[in-house]
Chain A
């Protein structure tokens, strides 16, 4: 009885896995198929669209800029959000809901409305600070905040941050030591999650860059698509695969302690 239920459960799991896999992979496979078509119906398969990626300087620049933006945004988000969230949890718990509301707010506002709001600031920054595309990272921090906040909040909730920080303080640690040597190592999974979500959001961002007239990866894909649909689809597939690889890293590398716990035999409490 129990065995047959287990088999049914496994079959159900397999079906769900297959359906979900198909849901994600069929469109990517179709895109890959499209990007490798020749010029006519009878023409053989070709990787010209893929090799064009590296022959299009604007595209390479846009990819580089997007990757730089992703790194800068992730770091800025962590530097801004993590100490704030830790401080609120330790010292100002009554502000927890307020900070949560502020951090989640950007997800409720359409990107187009956000752009209208930040347009004057962006113009001032372009004139007075720099015209570099990397200035976009200031606005991307706002954009990734809801996703990163959730990931970091889950990480903070998983450890007794108050007791750990007080224990470290009583042993002589200053606040920077508490952050870097006690809190950060104990929420490495959450930090990795937050960072990868930020990277995924930044790599897929189009509206901000396009309306503020910067050329990032998605804007470049759109431009290339006007000239060569195959190349633009190839870049889109590549960026999706890149995001997929990041998520795989998240799944397999992001849980060092669980792996450690499995690797070593737990001691039975006496």
Chain B
């Protein structure tokens, strides 16, 4: 089988997790998780520590057993199949290269176990090392490589066996910011080139939004929302998603006649059937603008700038409105006009907002 044929053969399997349950003593790690991944899709599971995202990945890998539910890969129920027979490649959070082997030997390890002959083994190891840009480092041991290089070899090793599914368990979390961002792009490039169905687990929202076709935000063992990154960010389905993904202002208001009145501004609601009464509106900093100098005027959206954080192209301005502080994200040039201490008047863009009626 040529490498392109092999690529076509392994690309595009559907993966289904059906109603997975997993408990550890008194803790429920997964509470009926269901997820279908389309062939060749990269899904990122995002959530805080302990939300069950790594457990979901480990159940898919076969490294743990589910209390109930099913794992289906390419139409085959693998729920009770051991990890070494699942045909799944995995890259771990911790550096996982075998220290007594060179990069090439690490990559060839899985191929040997799959009874691939020495000639083809060498050829395929060379191919995947080239794919991750490490051909020149094939004869180095793990301790002679940087963290980023080790994770790239681990990726090559996982891909070498041509698995049906690729699992990435926070593979970038041990790396510094620059290497992290570069490797993130590289993982995406390789994944698209190989076309393998991939589950990527991370607690870093920027990483998830940048790399995934769809992002699943998890909390307490359940998927809160699953959708394309843009949808997750701009149309969060729950207050948890709104607050976990990106920054959010929590501004008290009042729900009336299908909208929420926030400090004199009517904002449409994302949720339907919200009962009338007090609620907290979740407003993104980019939906807050500074309309001008507060001067001597007074009003619910007039306040004093207390801090300006430079973020590059944009800046984040913190405005004290007396009873609450509000973040506004502005182009840096606009933010420069309002240094700390100046009085400003804010406006809220009338984007649909979520409200939290429990607080």
In B93-117, the 8 Å CB interface with A consists of 94-96, 98-100, 109-110, 113-114
In this assembly, does A171 line the interface, its C-beta being within 8 Å of a C-beta of chain B?
A: yes
Taking the nearest CB of chain A, how far is it from the CB of B145, in angstroms?
6
Asked if B92 and A169 make an inter-chain contact with CB atoms under 8 angstroms apart, the answer reads no
Asked if B143 and A261 make an inter-chain contact with CB atoms under 8 angstroms apart, the answer reads yes
In this assembly, does A47 line the interface, its C-beta being within 8 Å of a C-beta of chain B?
A: no
Specify the chain A residue showing the minimal Cβ separation from B144. Answer: A267
Task: Specify which of B94, B109, B154 is in contact with A160 (CB 8 Å cutoff).
Answer: B94
Task: Specify which of B143, B147, B158 is in contact with A170 (CB 8 Å cutoff).
Answer: B158
Report A140-180 CB contacts with B as 1/0, cut-off 8 Å.
00000000000000000001100110111111111001000
In this assembly, does B88 line the interface, its C-beta being within 8 Å of a C-beta of chain A?
A: yes
Residues of A within 8 A of B149 (CB): 269-270
Residues of A within 8 A of B147 (CB): 269
Classify the secondary structure of A's interface with B.
helix
In this assembly, does B63 line the interface, its C-beta being within 8 Å of a C-beta of chain A?
A: yes
Number of A-B residue pairs at CB separation under 8 A: 89
Classify the secondary structure of B's interface with A.
mixed
Asked if B83 and A170 make an inter-chain contact with CB atoms under 8 angstroms apart, the answer reads yes
Asked if A170 and B98 make an inter-chain contact with CB atoms under 8 angstroms apart, the answer reads no
Taking the nearest CB of chain A, how far is it from the CB of B141, in angstroms?
7
Taking the nearest CB of chain A, how far is it from the CB of B59, in angstroms?
13
In this assembly, does B51 line the interface, its C-beta being within 8 Å of a C-beta of chain A?
A: no
Asked if B84 and A173 make an inter-chain contact with CB atoms under 8 angstroms apart, the answer reads yes
Interface residues on B, range: 35 or more
Asked if B84 and A267 make an inter-chain contact with CB atoms under 8 angstroms apart, the answer reads no
Asked if B146 and A163 make an inter-chain contact with CB atoms under 8 angstroms apart, the answer reads no
In this assembly, does A13 line the interface, its C-beta being within 8 Å of a C-beta of chain B?
A: no
Residues of A within 8 A of B113 (CB): 171-173, 177
Residues of B within 8 A of A266 (CB): 143-144
Task: Specify which of A160, A172, A257, A270 is in contact with B96 (CB 8 Å cutoff).
Answer: A160
Asked if A166 and B144 make an inter-chain contact with CB atoms under 8 angstroms apart, the answer reads no
Asked if A186 and B100 make an inter-chain contact with CB atoms under 8 angstroms apart, the answer reads yes
- Tell me the complex Cα distance, A174–B154, Å: 19
Asked if A257 and B100 make an inter-chain contact with CB atoms under 8 angstroms apart, the answer reads yes
In this assembly, does B330 line the interface, its C-beta being within 8 Å of a C-beta of chain A?
A: no
Residues of B within 8 A of A264 (CB): 141, 144
In this assembly, does B280 line the interface, its C-beta being within 8 Å of a C-beta of chain A?
A: no
Residues of A within 8 A of B109 (CB): 168, 171, 173, 181
In the complex with contacts A170-B84, A172-B113, A267-B145, A182-B89 CB distance below 8 A:
no
Taking the nearest CB of chain B, how far is it from the CB of A258, in angstroms?
10
Residues of B within 8 A of A164 (CB): 96, 98
Residues of A within 8 A of B96 (CB): 160, 163-164, 166-167
Residues of A within 8 A of B148 (CB): 269-270
Residues of A within 8 A of B99 (CB): 159, 186, 257
In this assembly, does B140 line the interface, its C-beta being within 8 Å of a C-beta of chain A?
A: yes
In the complex with contacts A160-B94, A163-B94, A166-B92, A172-B143 CB distance below 8 A:
no
Taking the nearest CB of chain B, how far is it from the CB of A182, in angstroms?
6
In A234-270, the 8 Å CB interface with B consists of 257, 260-261, 264, 266-267, 269-270
Q: Which 7 A-B pairs have the closest CB atoms?
A: A269-B146, A171-B110, A172-B113, A167-B96, A170-B90, A169-B83, A185-B100
- 8 A-B pairs with C-beta separation under 8 A: A160-B94, A160-B95, A166-B96, A169-B63, A171-B113, A185-B100, A269-B147, A270-B149
Given contacts A167-B92, A170-B167, A261-B141, 4 further A-B contacts (CB under 8 A): A163-B96, A166-B63, A170-B86, A185-B100
Interface residues of B (CB under 8 A from A): 61-63, 82-86, 88-90, 92, 94-96, 98-100, 109-110, 113-114, 137, 140-141, 143-149, 154, 157-158, 161, 167
